[in-house]
Amino acid sequence: MTTAKLSFTMVYRPLFITLLGAFAISADTHAQMDAERLTPAGSDLAPQINSATRFSQIPFDEHLQALPDFKGNSCEQLLIPLRALNGAKGEYETSAAYAQRLEQIRTANLAGSITASSIVSFEATRHASISSEYDADAKVLSVYFSMSPSSEIMSGGQSIASAVIDLLERNVDSYVAENIYGRKSDVTRTRAKVCAIGFKNLKFEPGRAEIHMQIEADKAPAARKNLGLIYVGQLSAPYLLKYSYSQAPTVSLPVDFEAVGDVIMLQLKKAYLYDRQTGEIHRVADYK
């Protein structure tokens, strides 16, 4: 017998192991993640979407008036070239030498016509915990969303926000845990590998954002059903940091969850709330 977290006594019992599947943790006090890996895009955006990756191979165009069948750039695809760039300052590297090296890095090609200084976009709907409510009298649709789970990332001594974009791997099993009072619970243990994005200009604050928009009652149901969220930002040094998020099991919530991975660093410029079916842009939030 070994000891698990929070004074549980653990008896290991295999449940199942899977890759590229679903994972979830509870809302509010523990946060919520969606249950699916990103779905490949369709073929309607053939000039913009690479046939092999099904993701955009060009920088984001901030002048677009609509986003039909939009999937943005691939978080996973950008990881390999960004790792090779080594954008972090070395311990024995002077500030002047680092600045000079960054100038060379910024022109490095990552994928298609995307460079290390490009403005890129990430479709974040699956892990954004979007909810909404409609006020028929005011004809206002209120949309609430959170970066889920948003891990606190330290960058340059500051605490910044991050958001999971891709689930790369998931391993799940279960065990029986017993507390000091002899109460037993079946604990589901999940270990996940993710690709996330970090916002250099957005302070980490647990909670949710909200957007309110005027819309007629006959159009509100379709708008709520197809709400989508896109983050747009400029790739920025140090380009990659490490992601880590965990939740310890309790008797009332027997979930043992841990996600690790890489964080692609961005200077967040815009967040788009849009209709995933029609591509209509509902609102654009600007960030400085």
Residue 201 is classified by DSSP as: E
Which pLDDT score, from 0 to 100, does residue 161 have?
A: 83
Of residues 109 and 160, more confidently modeled: 109
Residue by residue, DSSP assigns 31-52 as ----SSPPPPP-STTTTTB-TT
Taking residues 222-247, report their average pLDDT. Answer: 92
Confidence of residue 47 (pLDDT cuts 50, 70, 90): very low
78-113 burial, b at 16+ Cβ within 10 Å, e below that, comes to bbebbeebebebeeeeeeeebeebbeebbebebbbe
Return the half-sphere exposure (C-beta side, CA atoms, 13 A cut-off) of residue 61: 11
Q: Which residues contact 111 (CB under 8 A, 6 or more apart)?
A: 53, 57, 73, 74, 77, 78, 81
Which pLDDT score, from 0 to 100, does residue 255 have?
A: 93
pLDDT at 91 over 70: yes
Taking residues 108-116, report their average pLDDT. Answer: 94
Taking residues 236-249, report their average pLDDT. Answer: 91
Confidence of residue 116 (pLDDT cuts 50, 70, 90): very high
Confidence of residue 125 (pLDDT cuts 50, 70, 90): confident
Residue 89 is classified by DSSP as: P
Confidence of residue 270 (pLDDT cuts 50, 70, 90): very high
Which pLDDT score, from 0 to 100, does residue 207 have?
A: 63
DSSP reduced 3-state for 167: strand
196 near 160, Cβ under 8 Å?
Answer: no
Which pLDDT score, from 0 to 100, does residue 20 have?
A: 23
- 235: region left, alpha or beta (phi > 0 left; psi from -120 to 50 alpha): beta
**Structure confidence by residue, pLDDT tens digits, 16-38:** 222 222 222 233 333 333 323 32
Which pLDDT score, from 0 to 100, does residue 158 have?
A: 74
Which pLDDT score, from 0 to 100, does residue 211 have?
A: 83
218-250 burial, b at 16+ Cβ within 10 Å, e below that, comes to eebeebbeebbbbbbbbbbbbbbbebbbebebb
| Structural domain containing residue 71 | 2-286
Taking residues 189-216, report their average pLDDT. Answer: 86
Return the half-sphere exposure (C-beta side, CA atoms, 13 A cut-off) of residue 3: 5
Total domains, the chain: 1
Taking residues 240-247, report their average pLDDT. Answer: 90
Of residues 275 and 11, more confidently modeled: 275
Which pLDDT score, from 0 to 100, does residue 12 have?
A: 30
